[in-house]
Chain A
Amino acid sequence: MISKGDSGADDSAPLFLRATSLVVRIFGAVSAALLLVVFAVVIYAVAQRYFFGRPLLWGDETTGWLLIAMILCGAAEAYRQNDHIAMDIVSSRVKGRGAILLRALFDLAVFAVAVVIAVSAWEAIAFARSFGSYTTGNFPIPSWIPQTPLLVGSVLLALMALARLGDLALRRTAP
């Protein structure tokens, strides 16, 4: 069900795939770091409430935004590592050209969904900036700020899908 393993930007991989993989890995590292930040914020909020008697007003909002940033920064890395859950009942049995076709379909689907999210996120950010909207809650900030990871993450995902498609076209064998 879950196929794991590095999708491989090995030494023989084309330059565009290696370059994209490097960027995606860096964002993956940012995502892992953000998990540590989420942990620190929640623990800080608990400590503030129980040890200092000052409940944190911005804890919940920040946790939500950090979480979105974590997810979107890491999505392309999880995809690069083939972590995303897929049903492999058919794909695991198909060989040769069929396997290449299914793999291309796999990457095309990810590319299409990433583009849809990116376009929609771009529109949402442009609207938020032109309208000057702010988030609601105890800690209002311009709403385009927490929305930006949605754009960055989906663009990364689309780039990774494109790089994999390009690699597939050059190699003509399913990895």
Chain B
Amino acid sequence: MTMALVFAGLIVLLVTGIPVFAALGLAATAILLIFEGSVSSVADTVFAALDKPVLATIPLFVFMAQIMVRTKVIDDLYDMANAVIGHVRGGLGIATVLSCTIFAAISGSSVATALSIGSSAIPQMKRFGYPERDALGVVAAGGTLGILIPPSGPMILYAIVSEVSIGALFLAGIIPGLLLALIFSLYCLARAGAQKHEGTPQWVGWPKVARALGRSFWAVMTPPVVLGGIYLGIFTATEAAAVGVLYALLVAVFAYRNFGMWDLVDCAWRSMRTSVMMFMIIAGAAMFGHAITIIRLPVGVTEAVTHMGLGPLGFILAVMAVIFIMGMFFETIAIILITTPILLPTMVAFDIDLIWYGVLLMINLELALITPPVGMNLFVLKGITDASLGEIVRGTYPYVFLMLAGLALLIIIPGLATWLPYASGFGR
């Protein structure tokens, strides 16, 4: 009963349009006042939640992505992908997926990926006769790879809340991320084969391909520089993010030479704004997490699930279904921070691999980005094109099914996510 009341109250607050951090904070305040009669513990809870040096990873990765976007490396990235694969039928779609995959490994953000790649890719695909719906669909879906392919802001948040190694989680996202990219590419190929009217750019020749590869060198080198440091044990995740910023600055100033002091200030300003909104949700979620622990809600969930007789698989399927539905309405960060503390005790009780669950969660959150009525990537595309929201949603439908198939595959074969981290020495 208490559980139902708490969630009903939270949902009402969220639906009225109150900022997520304030809704979580208000719900927590109400619980604390009713059950403890005091809110004195709030400051300590918020302070403890934010006083984590590893959280610096988030604004630093955002900062790195801002600098990369500002220096226009995206244009070179898309030109490279286009030169390599664009001439094949369906190749522009594949080039878009390829660009999204590489940019995902730079930005760590799905919205940034869809926004950056979409601005270059959609006009190009439309120019060569791609149906608008297809062009929108592939960018929206390709953009979601940003949170699955490392580095990933939501992965860092999940890792911090669940106390899973960030490095292990990053590694776990690589194979599923590439698998989804492959599935999307094959779909583009099949779709183009079915639509004979679609044109393709001409093969540009090897010299131009070599030049395009050369120009995109700095962008393509970003993931190895950033992630290589983590996996070789040279840097912690926070240090890798700072080194990524340094690398992006060096590329911007010395390779691209289009980055001045004001660009630095503007990038820092934008990164601060993006990061702060995430951190305030972390603060609100910490208050909420503290409050629901006082009323033993996570334990209650574990007991309820145990009484229902659900096994680990049944529990995972039920959780995935709930998160899929939540994803239609809630924002990804909020979903991670609200659900993880509640579900964690049950997952531990069922001995569910938290790295595997983390990857399942990320794919489900990718779906959240492209499922209406609230799908961030849908809104991003609405913002950068003149397409209707309905047309964008129809374009993403095939990808929703493809991603659900990917999710099912990962549930059936957990090794797709867990093999790489464990083979690399990250223990369970």
Contacts and interface: CB of A to CB of B under 8 A. Distances in A.
Interface of A: 1-2, 28-29, 31-33, 35-36, 38-39, 42-43, 45-46, 59-61, 63-65, 67-68, 70-71, 74-75, 77-79, 81, 83-91, 102, 105-106, 109-110, 112-113, 116-117, 119-121, 123-124, 146-147, 150
Nearest to B33: A116
Contact of A46 (B25, B63, B239, B277): B239
A85 B281 contact: yes
Given A1-B374, A42-B239, 7 more contacts: A2-B379, A39-B60, A39-B242, A110-B22, A124-B43, A147-B43, A150-B46
Interface of B: 13-23, 25-26, 29, 39-44, 46-47, 50-53, 55-56, 59-60, 63, 235, 238-239, 241-243, 245-246, 264-265, 268-269, 271-277, 279-281, 283-284, 329-331, 333-334, 373-374, 376, 379
Interface of B is mostly: helix
Nearest to A89: B373
A38 B26 contact: no
B25 A90 contact: no
A75 B19 CA distance: 12
Contacts of A117: 25, 42-43, 46, 283
Given A1-B374, A87-B329, A123-B40, A81 B273 contact: yes
Contacts of B23: 109
Contacts, number: 200
A86 B19 contact: yes
B21 A113 contact: yes
A135 B272 CA distance: 26
Contacts of A124: 40, 43-44, 47
A65 B235 CA distance: 21
Contacts of A35: 59, 63, 268, 271-272, 275
Contacts of A60: 53
Given A1-B379, A43-B243, A120-B43, A84 B63 contact: no
Contacts of B16: 90-91, 102, 105-106
A2 to B, nearest CB: 7
8 contacts: A36-B268, A61-B53, A81-B273, A85-B333, A113-B22, A113-B25, A116-B39, A117-B46
